[in-house]
């Protein structure tokens, strides 16, 4: 659910927050939609933390995104290509702290990249297919990374499509490429060639 900051202020912050809250069930995730690296995100387990979570999101954005928290595996699909994009091997992310936050993303050793993920091959194919569809639907070109949460029944939920995925030493995309036999220099070469294609 999305809520405009100024609308909230107009209605009265508490009233609007109550309205959203009544339509959803704890735990919730409140996000600043235009941010990345888990900045502006709160995991809300108690009702009394909902308002401060919205306030944090509004520090970064005019809108806040409120989602249902999905307890389950986190999987990411790296996508490479222009007209016919392909999904690289999937990665399951496991963090030491249980939250894939800023620190876990950029500190070596705080998160584990499991390739292939601990799900069936069939399910991997479903996720890859969804990732390519999402990338195409948004007009993605060159490269992208589609993040998923899987609920306990294995239903995939797309969290987001990253159009400039991280390329640091702890990043996911270079690991996915390596698992496909594409070393970093070749990966950069391929990304540049894709960018130059008309």
Ligand X SMILES: Nc1ncnc2c1ncn2[C@@H]1O[C@H](COP(=O)(O)OP(=O)(O)O)[C@@H](O)[C@H]1O
Query: DSSP secondary-structure letter at 128?
Result: H
Closest contact distance (angstroms) between CB of 15 and ligand X is 25
Binding partner of 38, given Mg ion, ligand X, none, CB within 5-8 angstroms per partner class: ligand X
Output the smallest distance, CB 98 to ligand X, in A: 9
Q: Which stretch binds ligand X (CB under 6 A): 4-12, 31-39, 77-85, 137-145?
A: 31-39
Q: Which helix or strand (DSSP H or E) is residue 17 part of?
A: helix 13-23
Q: How far apart are the first and last CA of the chain?
A: 37
Q: What angle do CA 158, 20, 14 make, to 5 degrees?
A: 135
Residue 147 lies near Mg ion (rule: CB under 5 A): yes
Neighbours of 28 (CB within 10 A): 22
The answer to whether 58 and 9 are in contact (CB under 8 A) is: no
The one segment of 12-20, 34-42, 136-144, 163-171 that binds ligand X by CB under 6 A: 34-42
**Smallest gap from residue 189 Cβ to ligand X (A):** 27
149 binds ligand X (CB under 6 A): yes
Q: Which residue is nearest to ligand X (CB)?
A: 100
């Amino acid at each position: 659910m999305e809520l405009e900051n100024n609308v909230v202020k107009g209605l009265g912050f508490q009233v609007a927050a109550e309205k959203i809250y009544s339509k959803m069930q704890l735990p919730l995730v409140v996000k600043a939609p235009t941010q990345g690296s888990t900045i502006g995100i709160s995991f809300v387990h108690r009702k009394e933390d909902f308002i401060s979570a919205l306030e944090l999101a509004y520090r970064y954005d005019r809108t806040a995104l409120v989602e249902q928290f999905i307890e389950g595996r986190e999987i990411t699909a790296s996508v490479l290509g222009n007209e016919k994009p392909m999904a690289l091997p999937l990665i399951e992310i496991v963090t030491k702290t249980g939250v894939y936050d800023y620190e876990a993303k950029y500190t070596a050793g705080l998160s584990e990249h499991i390739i292939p993920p601990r799900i069936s091959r069939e399910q991997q194919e479903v996720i890859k297919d969804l990732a390519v569809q999402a990338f195409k639907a948004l007009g993605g070109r060159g490269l992208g990374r589609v993040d998923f949460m899987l609920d306990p029944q294995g239903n995939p939920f797309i969290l987001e499509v990253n159009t400039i995925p991280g390329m640091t030493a702890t990043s996911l995309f270079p690991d996915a490429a390596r698992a496909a036999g594409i070393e970093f220099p070749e990966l950069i070469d391929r990304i540049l060639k894709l960018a130059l294609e008309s």
